């Protein structure tokens, strides 16, 4: 849905709450899930670039709203408040037990319904969530909304008339300069910007900003269409990665050890 | 009806990317297990000529969409072309390389077809006629097995440098099927205006077989010269840890790790890198890891096959010297 007023850009930012990258991740025995009790949760780092970019766009234009949209359980509210504290205006929280266990498709479907109720010129999100690492939701959402996308972007320039954006997209060994019509979904890569920290004032103000909770029914979705039931891809097992066989410290003086390693690479590992 | 496998074989400037051949080879293995056929999809402009070469890797048919509008990759263009081939062939499984194109095209096609996607897979198999895709999650701290029980095609993108390329059998040939996807440039909502090559990027890290990487222990941008010399002697590329990139010693495109690139080379030599979890996430599936660090407690030694506890500035030049001698033999 495009906003009518020319000079205003309303930006929606998708945000996910994920385990801290330092977290020790353990598989819950006998299940295809992880132990969550001991984990610290944070705003997905790639989504922070998206929030920051949205705030910069709003500050540059002087007008427009930044709406944070996130799907998650009750505690995900913390992540939404953090974004509001950074400066976003309002949030929508997709919160329903039925959403649990969503694959990329089911998540994108629910988010697309939430966005149908919003006015936006641009949708930003991180290129991937650091828990599932599937890097798919932003792109799948664009397809379901019927709008274009540009993924893994390190620079965004919005045209004067707000109908186009020129993005720098990271590909192997190069940066592609891609022009897209708007509205579009753009996914953020590290280097897009340096996200700000929420100020104390921002944190206080965030407490009074609205977070609109949506369950599946309010989005016109049945339980079968969302979450684990609505997922097309299902995780059937989780295991820790196989440990690497123990290596060894090659002893001796630096020069000796260096020579020995080159010999081992040839004779033992057989790779040079 | 037999279960067939379709592989999107990515080409760049008229040449198949190595991961495309890896995906085709793995696709053939899966098709054989399913008792079905392997087909490949080749999309681009002026690409008809290379399509036939996939026969040697086991493709029975190669579907080609050749159109000037597809010269550069755009998601609108390639998704339309690939979905047209999918509609015509109804494969049970769709594979592609997990490259910048695969990461872009895979999700778009998955959403358009309402099917499941497993990205960046490090192992594939079929069980009870269904694809079982193994993929890392939580930056590689967990391996998940993913299935797509009902929707088709079951889509998986494969991590480069993990699957082997089969020995080509030149006695085999593929039937080339030209497909008119009715492309029109107006439908493309994105346009590539230009490509800015990154300075110093001769080979992408994700495709390098040998990587020599430097971390905080390097101490400065100019200190990386000894790593460049070692990399050159071995025919490899130079990578960097986040510390080195954040310090401004190397560009972000060379960063290996959770917020950089995930690499899987045959040989990874880590110099002055402590081995933080986030760095390991980007390189621990390397076949052989060598670590050089002054600190015997550095976590990198836990994943290294061969470790040298010493000053890297004494060790690395000797590695280069010895490598040169060895390769000259």
Give the domains, in start order, of chain B with CATH numbers: 5-187 (3.40.50.620), 205-328 (3.40.50.1220)
Mean pLDDT score of chain B: 95
A204 vs chain B: nearest CA distance in angstroms? 31
The pLDDT confidence band at residue B201, using thresholds 50, 70 and 90, is: low
Across A5-9, A125-129, B160-164, the highest mean pLDDT is recorded for A125-129
A207 vs chain B: nearest CA distance in angstroms? 31
Contact B235, B207 (CB under 8 A): no
The pLDDT confidence band at residue B171, using thresholds 50, 70 and 90, is: very high
Chain B residues close to A130, C-beta within 8 Å? 138-139, 258
Tokens of A264: 């081992």
Is A254 at the interface with chain B, CB within 8 A? Answer: yes
Is A63 strand, coil or helix?
coil
A84 vs chain B: nearest CA distance in angstroms? 24
Lowest mean pLDDT among A1-10, A140-149, B83-92, B177-186: A1-10
The residue among B295, B202, B198, B208 whose CA lies nearest residue B256 is B208
For the CA atoms of A86, A92, A98, A103, the dihedral, rounded to the nearest 10 degrees, stands at: -60
User: Rounded distance, CA B78 to CA A148, Å?
Assistant: 13
Sign of CA dihedral B95, B100, B105, B107: positive
Rounded to two decimals, the pTM is 0.93
Select from A104, A170, A178 the Cβ nearest to the Cβ of B191.
A178
ipTM above 0.90, yes or no: yes
User: Rounded distance, CA B278 to CA A190, Å?
Assistant: 14
Select from A151, A249, A255 the Cβ nearest to the Cβ of B307.
A249
User: Rounded distance, CA A225 to CA A236, Å?
Assistant: 19
* pLDDT value for B300: 96
> Is the pLDDT assigned to residue A1 strictly greater than 60?
no
User: Rounded distance, CA A222 to CA A230, Å?
Assistant: 9
What does the pLDDT look like over A188-244, one tens digit per residue?
A: 999 999 999 999 999 999 999 999 999 999 999 999 999 999 999 999 999 999 888
A150 to chain B: closest CA residue: B190
Contact B265, B208 (CB under 8 A): yes
* pLDDT value for A81: 98
Q: Is residue B164 classed exposed, middle or buried when 0-12, 13-18 and 19+ CB atoms within 10 A define those classes?
A: exposed
Residues of chain B with pLDDT > 90, as a percent, come to 91
Contact B3, B35 (CB under 8 A): yes
Could you please state the CATH topology (level 3) that the domain comprising A11-230 is classified under. Rossmann fold (3.40.50)
> Is the pLDDT assigned to residue B180 strictly greater than 80?
yes
What does the pLDDT look like over A70-96, one tens digit per residue?
A: 999 999 999 999 999 999 999 999 999
The residue among B278, B83, B120 whose CA lies nearest residue A127 is B120
Taking the domains of chain A in order of start, what are their residue ranges?
A: 11-230, 246-272
Classify residue A27 by its DSSP letter: B
Is A175 at the interface with chain B, CB within 8 A? Answer: yes
User: Rounded distance, CA B301 to CA B46, Å?
Assistant: 49
> Is the pLDDT assigned to residue A5 strictly greater than 70?
no
The pLDDT confidence band at residue A8, using thresholds 50, 70 and 90, is: confident
Mean pLDDT score of chain A: 95
What does the pLDDT look like over B13-28, one tens digit per residue?
A: 999 999 999 999 999 9
> Is the pLDDT assigned to residue A3 strictly greater than 70?
no
What does the pLDDT look like over B62-82, one tens digit per residue?
A: 999 999 999 999 999 999 999
* pLDDT value for B259: 87
Contact B5, B59 (CB under 8 A): no
């Amino acid at each position: 849905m495009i906003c009518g007023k020319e000079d205003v850009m309303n930006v929606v930012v998708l945000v996910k709450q994920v385990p801290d990258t330092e977290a020790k991740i353990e598989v819950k025995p006998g299940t295809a899930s992880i132990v969550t009790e001991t984990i610290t949760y944070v705003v997905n780092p790639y989504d922070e670039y998206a929030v920051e970019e949205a705030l910069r766009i709003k500050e540059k234009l002087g007008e427009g709203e930044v709406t944070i949209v996130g799907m998650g359980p009750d505690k995900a509210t913390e992540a939404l408040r953090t974004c509001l504290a950074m400066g976003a205006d309002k949030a929508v929280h997709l919160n329903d037990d039925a959403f649990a266990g969503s694959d990329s498709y089911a998540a994108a479907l629910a988010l697309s319904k939430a966005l149908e109720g919003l006015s936006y010129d641009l949708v930003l999100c991180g290129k991937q969530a650091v828990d599932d690492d599937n890097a798919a939701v932003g792109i799948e959402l664009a397809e379901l909304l019927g709008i274009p996308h540009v993924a893994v972007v390190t620079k965004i320039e919005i045209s004067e008339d707000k109908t186009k954006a020129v993005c720098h997209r990271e590909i192997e060994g190069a940066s592609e300069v891609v022009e897209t019509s708007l509205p579009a979904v753009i996914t953020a890569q590290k280097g897009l910007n340096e996200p700000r920290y929420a100020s104390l004032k921002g944190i206080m103000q965030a407490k009074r900003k609205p977070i609109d909770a949506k369950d599946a029914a309010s989005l016109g979705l049945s339980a079968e269409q969302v979450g684990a039931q609505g997922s097309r891809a299902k995780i059937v097992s989780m295991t820790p990665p196989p440990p690497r066989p123990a290596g060894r410290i090659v002893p001796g003086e630096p020069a000796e050890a260096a020579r020995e390693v080159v010999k081992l690479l040839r004779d033992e590992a057989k790779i040079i | 009806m037999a279960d067939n496998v379709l592989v999107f074989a990515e080409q760049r400037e008229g040449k198949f990317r190595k991961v495309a051949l890896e995906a085709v080879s793995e696709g053939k293995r899966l098709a054989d297990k399913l008792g079905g056929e392997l087909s490949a999809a080749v999309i681009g402009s002026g690409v008809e000529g290379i399509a036939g070469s996939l026969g040697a890797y086991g493709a029975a048919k190669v579907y080609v969409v050749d159109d000037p509008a597809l010269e550069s990759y755009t998601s609108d263009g390639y998704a339309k072309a690939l979905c047209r081939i999918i509609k015509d062939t109804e494969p049970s499984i769709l594979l592609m390389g997990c490259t910048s194109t695969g990461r872009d095209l895979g999700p778009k096609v998955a959403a358009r077809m309402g099917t499941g996607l497993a990205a960046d897979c490090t192992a594939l198999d079929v069980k009870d006629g269904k694809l079982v895709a193994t993929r890392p999650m939580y930056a590689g701290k967990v391996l998940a097995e993913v299935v797509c029980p009902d929707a088709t095609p079951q889509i998986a993108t494969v991590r480069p440098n993990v699957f082997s390329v089969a020995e080509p059998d030149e006695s085999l040939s593929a039937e080339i099927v030209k497909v008119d996807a009715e492309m029109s440039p107006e439908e493309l909502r994105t346009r590539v205006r230009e490509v800015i090559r990154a300075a110093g990027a001769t080979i992408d890290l994700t495709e390098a077989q040998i990587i020599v990487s430097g971390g905080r222990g390097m101490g400065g941008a100019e200190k990386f010269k000894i790593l460049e010399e070692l990399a050159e002697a071995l025919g490899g590329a130079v990578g960097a840890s986040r510390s080195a990139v954040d310090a401004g010693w190397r560009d972000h495109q060379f960063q290996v790790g959770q917020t950089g690139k995930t690499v899987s080379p045959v040989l990874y030599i880590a110099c002055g890198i402590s081995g933080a979890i986030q760095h390991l996430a980007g390189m621990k599936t390397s076949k052989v890891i060598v670590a050089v660090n002054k600190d015997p407690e550095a976590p990198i030694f836990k994943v290294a096959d061969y470790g040298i506890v010493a000053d890297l500035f004494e060790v690395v030049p000797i590695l280069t010297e010895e490598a040169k001698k060895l390769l000259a033999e």
